[in-house]
Amino acid sequence: MCGAGHNLRLILAALRLYCARIGLSVQKVIAALIAHSLNNRPACG
């Protein structure tokens, strides 16, 4: 069972690196989508 904890730590570290790498591009995409939806919102009244 000791090996499972070590593997889990390695997996979490790899996920952290992966998320850090794609996090910036995901932020850009989300910001662009939000700006796009705000610009295309029908004017009220």
Domain boundaries, position 4: 1-38
Q: Is residue 44 part of a domain?
A: no
Task: Look at the chain and report how many structural domains it folds into.
Answer: 1
Q: Is residue 43 part of a domain?
A: no
pTM above 0.75, yes or no: no
Residue range 2-36, pLDDT digits in tens: 666 778 889 889 988 887 778 778 888 888 888 88
Q: What is the pLDDT of residue 17?
A: 85
pLDDT of residue 39 exceeding 80: no
Residues in the chain, total: 45
Residue where the block lists tokens 């995409």: 29
Q: Is residue 45 part of a domain?
A: no
Amino acid at 44: C
